[in-house]
Amino acid sequence: MSTFDPDPPAPAVGGSPAAQLVTIKRFLADRQPESATGDLTSMLYDLAVAGKLISNKTRRAGLTDMLGRSGVTNVQGEEQKSLDVYADEVIAGLLAQGGRVSALVSEEQPEVTIFEGNGPYVVTCDPLDGSSNIDANVSIGTIFGVFKQREPGSRPTVDDWLRPGRDLVAAGYLLYSTSTMLVYSTGDGVHAFTLDPEAGEFLLTWSDLEFPADPSYYSFNLAASRHWEQGVERFVHWANRDDTPTMSQRYIGSAVSDFHRNLLHGGIFAYPGTDDEPAGKLRLLYEGAPLAYLAEQAGGRGSDGRTSLLELQPADIHQRTPVFVGALELVERLEEFVSEPLQDA
């Protein structure tokens, strides 16, 4: 029988640590293919700027009373904005001004926002994911995915955003935690940057991140386990067994943070469907698909339990999906359990 070690050595990170100071601007410019117009690079830089502003507001949230819900009036008689609303406005404003984006799908908006200028990209985003954690000072994040318009330069149509994640040309997230990080991929690996708040620059921390070989964590909200389908429960039992790789259970309840930790240290993050909500809680276009894109770029996989999240065709911009995303062997193992015949209770 193996013994439980509550304080194991820090697991290895599967990526190349930065050997020198490289700003995100320099990195984006260096990695941009010669044939590229620079539109994608500029748009990613706009998102980095949005991340700086949101990070700044997040850090001051407790001081400026941004924690509450929107609609509250502050002492100056101005209507207070919650951080979710602020983040949504900052991202929409910067992308609109940047001129590279023609449409934005946001968790905060019931409909798609169309921008003037007909930039070639369509962005999907959850401006502030995990925001129910804000009042407890728990880390939160921004998730984004980027599609290229089918006919760049024309007015965007529904076919430009209701499309499978396989069509994404970039995805990433910002993580607002002890430090602020930007992690993104444009299809040539996953790269992570940390914001130096003094310099106001995102500096390269890891390039070409990959899930490490030995996974450390599984991240499921076990309180909901009695409502999952059997295969998901059986996976968790397997993950707990002595003869499987030793993994700890860690669940922050903030998808970006759970995904990020598992990307660095190996693992799987899940938000399964339940008997009440078979599609779960997370949204395909701006949560599931971008995280699955990053996972694939890091050698992993994102799945709804049966099919890659990147193959699913959304029928609605806010469509939900079960999400299992992380190291390849764990997601594939989960899919095996889900596909096995039901066992008697």
Under the binding rule (CB under 6 A), the answer on residue 221 touching ligand AHM is yes
Q: Which of ligand AHM, Mg ion, none does 146 bind, CB closer than 5 to 8 A by kind?
A: none
* 302 touching ligand AHM, by CB under 6 A: no
Residue type, 67: L
Contact between 131 and ligand AHM per CB under 6 A: yes
Report CA-CA distances (Å) from 60 to 66, 83, 128, 139, 183.
8, 11, 15, 14, 23
What is the C-alpha to C-alpha distance for residues 123 and 285, in angstroms, rounded to an integer?
A: 10
Please pick, from the candidates 102, 139, 194, 254, the single residue that binds ligand AHM as defined by CB under 6 A. 254
**DSSP, res 293:** H
C-beta of 228: minimal distance to ligand AHM in Å? Answer: 12
Indicate the SS3 state at residue 303. Answer: strand
- Residue reference for tokens 């009036």: 73
Which residue is listed with tokens 């708040």? 197
Which listed range, 49-57, 91-99, 125-133, 303-311, lies at the site for ligand AHM (CB under 6 A)?
125-133
Q: Nearest approach, Cβ of 271 to ligand AHM (angstroms)?
A: 5
Q: How far apart are CA 147 and CA 39, in angstroms?
A: 12
Among 147, 193, 271, 324, the residue binding ligand AHM under the rule CB under 6 A is: 271
Q: How far is the CB of 304 from ligand AHM (least distance, A)?
A: 15
Contact 229, 272 (CB under 8 A): yes
Q: Interface with ligand AHM includes 217 (CB under 6 A)?
A: no
CA distance 325 to 289: 10
Task: Name residues contacting Mg ion, limited to 94-133 (CB under 5 A).
Answer: 126, 129
HEC letters along 24-66: HHHHHHHHCCCCCCCHHHHHHHHHHHHHHHHHHHHHCHHHHCC
Tell me which stretch binds ligand AHM (CB under 6 A): 38-46, 127-135, 161-169, 183-191: 127-135
| Closest distance of CB 255 from Mg ion, Å | 7
Taking CB within 5 to 8 Å according to partner kind, which of ligand AHM, Mg ion, none is near residue 210? none
Interface residues with ligand AHM (CB under 6 A) are 107, 126, 129-132, 221, 253-255, 271, 281
Interface residues with Mg ion (CB under 5 A) are 126, 129
